[in-house]
Amino acid sequence: MTHRSHSAVPTWVWIPAGLGIAFLLVPIIGMITRIDPGHLGEVIIAPESRVAMGISLLTSIIAALVCVLIGFPLGHLMATRTFRGQKVVRTLILLPLVLPPVVSGLALLYTWGRAAFLGSLLTGLGLGLAYTTSAVVFAQIFVSLPFMVMSVETAVSARGQDFELAAAELGATPNRVFFHITLPLLRQGIMTGAVLCFARALGEFGATLTFAGSLSGVTRTMPLQIYLVRESDPQSAIALSLLLIVVALVIIVLAYRSPHSPKLRSPGAKGPQEGASRLRAPRPTSSADTTVTDVSTTVGPSTGEASASTIRLTAAVPERSLGVDLTVPAGSTTALIGRNGAGKSSLFQLITGAIAAESGALHIGDDTIFDLAADTWPPVHARGIVHLAQNPLLFPHLSVIDNVAFGLRAHGHRGDQARTIAQDMLDSLGVGDCAHRGPGAVSGGQAARIALARALVIDPKLLLLDEPLAALDVDVKIETRRVLGHVLAGRSAVIITHDVADVTALASTLVLVDSGAIAFKAPVGDVEQKLLADGASTPGHDFLDSFCAADGEGILCSQSHRSD
């Protein structure tokens, strides 16, 4: 018996969808039925047909490549930056989509034509454009470029900048992030845009005719050739149209069979990154899940933190209602707690440099990370601070070992050396056998340790962990917490958590954030004493009481206090 998977799509949707398919397919069928097979071969192999098709293919490929080269940076900037005049730029980008092709051709002619100012300058240099093959390419780029920009902008906006930020925190410069992270992650959007640009350029007619003319062997593309023979020989026009359709289909199919092209998936299938982000960590069954080397010896404390005494942070971010003044011990773990929306994540973004402060400074021991009074605000990649989010953010196009080696490569290590260090770190965290897998082929618990390994190999000045165990199953969470306890010993770390077990097992200091400010701070062993001393006047006192109530072992607050 066959069981069909559940679909959330109403059955009636098939009706308009079928009409849409018919609307596109019936005219093609109607044209095919009018073809005279005996006349087909003669028309296709005719010299003028082959020349026109050659010009169409050559100019369309060049136009698509140019659209990638200039359209990708433009689309990326439109999605990631806000600048003056951005709405005007977006309007100009979309304009060729709504202009009649003849109007586009006239715009090009009166800009680059021989009688136009810019065109006359080029003609004087012997580089005249109008009525040349280059003019065909110009016309095709003008009408195709919006497809590239829109494809890239949509892809960037949908994916966000989390991977780029993670790479920068590992020490990668903007250029390394762009070429090693951004480009590979956007290759599907780039391929989609390139295919759309090619298809649009291949079918361009009006702008080409107006700006480039119809010179045989020079500017007469296949659409122009079809238009030329349509009146005198309709059968030839139909045959050439079929040839153009077949060539376009072949190019598109070959492009989408590329390993870098978007893949069509069945409705129930998940992509590698989607599957990895939703994957629940299974009950440990392999050595990677059950055996962890004694990391207290193989992964020692950060050498730069041994002599550091405190972490001192003062900062104000008015637009986030954030104003903090915090001093905690360095070389140890601080637990950050508070209600959702209290400002904990904003505090992490401030520390890494993802959001800017209006005033303040951050010192880790003798190191100044930023000091706005001294006009010191280094970029993310120069801070030596790594942020581990709930989503491990393993780079999906890199293997596990290359993920871990990425930060080392960014800091100048050679490939083999970086992979050797990365393998040692993976082994010490019990996930060494995952080294050559893809990120989508590891469990949630393994991904958490891999992300931790990637952070630890570069020996950060400060490690920020945002609920790193929240998405794990109970048994994997206990084991991963034990691993964290070993690797964080002697390191400067701050962990956001809603789990009292994380505080009692990992932290030496507890900090409560309430309404964007530090409301409470105490050593873990002195929480109850300070809570009693401060009384109910402490902001967030009720939340702290509720948090302590979850401490079944009474490490934070005694049973007698919780019952009062």
CA-to-CA distance for 423 and 17, rounded, in angstroms? 51
- Residues 261, 255 contacting (CB under 8 angstroms): yes
pLDDT the model gives residue 423: 96
Backbone angles phi, psi at 19, to 5 degrees: -65, -40
pLDDT the model gives residue 531: 77
- Residues 176, 410 contacting (CB under 8 angstroms): yes
- Residues 546, 512 contacting (CB under 8 angstroms): no
pLDDT at 300 over 50: no
Confidence of residue 286 (pLDDT cuts 50, 70, 90): very low
The torsion of the CA quartet 549, 552, 554, 555, rounded to 10 degrees, works out to -100
The torsion of the CA quartet 252, 253, 258, 264, rounded to 10 degrees, works out to 110
Confidence of residue 6 (pLDDT cuts 50, 70, 90): low
pLDDT tens by residue, 496-553: 998 888 998 999 999 999 999 999 999 988 887 887 777 666 677 788 888 887 766 6
More confident call, 201 vs 284: 201
Considering only CA atoms, which of 535, 530, 526 is closest in space to residue 555?
Answer: 526
pLDDT the model gives residue 164: 95
Ranges 46-60, 164-178, 232-246: which has the least confidence = 232-246
The total number of residues shown for the chain amounts to: 564
Tokens matching residue 195:
């295919």
pLDDT tens by residue, 191-242: 889 999 999 999 999 999 999 988 989 999 999 988 888 878 888 888 888 8
pLDDT the model gives residue 259: 58
The domain spans of the chain are: 16-262, 391-459
pLDDT the model gives residue 474: 81
Confidence of residue 71 (pLDDT cuts 50, 70, 90): very high
Tokens matching residue 39:
């006349």
CA-to-CA distance for 221 and 462, rounded, in angstroms? 61
pLDDT the model gives residue 167: 95
- Looking at residue 165, its amino acid is L
Q: DSSP assignment, residue 376?
A: B
pLDDT the model gives residue 182: 94
CA-to-CA distance for 422 and 425, rounded, in angstroms? 5
Overall average pLDDT of the 12-26 stretch: 90
Q: Does the domain formed by 16-262 have CATH 1.10.3720.10?
A: yes
pLDDT the model gives residue 414: 94
Q: DSSP assignment, residue 371?
A: E
pLDDT tens by residue, 442-492: 998 899 999 999 999 999 999 999 988 887 788 888 888 888 888 899 999
pLDDT the model gives residue 258: 60
CA-to-CA distance for 157 and 105, rounded, in angstroms? 32
Cβ within 8 Å of residue 6, ≥6 positions away: none
pLDDT at 25 over 80: yes
Furthest C-alpha separation in the chain: 100
Report helix angle 415-428 to 400-410, nearest 10.
120
More confident call, 27 vs 534: 27
Tokens matching residue 325:
């003044």
pLDDT the model gives residue 272: 43
CA-to-CA distance for 497 and 502, rounded, in angstroms? 7
CA-to-CA distance for 228 and 60, rounded, in angstroms? 20
Q: DSSP assignment, residue 284?
A: P
Considering only CA atoms, which of 171, 459, 524 is closest in space to residue 306?
Answer: 459
pLDDT the model gives residue 43: 75
Tokens matching residue 21:
């398919």
Q: Sign of dihedral through CA atoms 197, 201, 205, 207?
A: positive
The torsion of the CA quartet 496, 498, 504, 506, rounded to 10 degrees, works out to -30
pLDDT at 35 over 80: no
- Residues 282, 276 contacting (CB under 8 angstroms): no
pLDDT the model gives residue 554: 66
pLDDT tens by residue, 344-375: 999 999 999 999 999 999 999 999 999 999 99
Reported in sequence order, the residue ranges of 182-225 that DSSP labels E, i.e. its strands, are none
CA-to-CA distance for 152 and 183, rounded, in angstroms? 11
CA-to-CA distance for 300 and 465, rounded, in angstroms? 18
| Strand bridging mode 359-364 / 310-317 | antiparallel
pLDDT at 269 over 70: no
pLDDT the model gives residue 296: 42
Overall average pLDDT of the 246-254 stretch: 80
Q: Which of 255-259, 295-299, 385-389 has the highest mean pLDDT?
A: 385-389
Considering only CA atoms, which of 130, 18, 154, 138 is closest in space to residue 78?
Answer: 154
pLDDT above 90: percentage of residues in the chain: 50
Considering only CA atoms, which of 341, 301, 343 is closest in space to residue 326?
Answer: 343
pLDDT at 105 over 80: yes
pLDDT the model gives residue 257: 67
Tokens matching residue 509:
């200091």
Burial letters for 319-330: b for 16+ Cβ neighbours within 10 Å, e otherwise? Answer: ebebbbebebeb
For the chain, give the mean pLDDT: 84
Considering only CA atoms, which of 199, 219, 201 is closest in space to residue 210?
Answer: 219
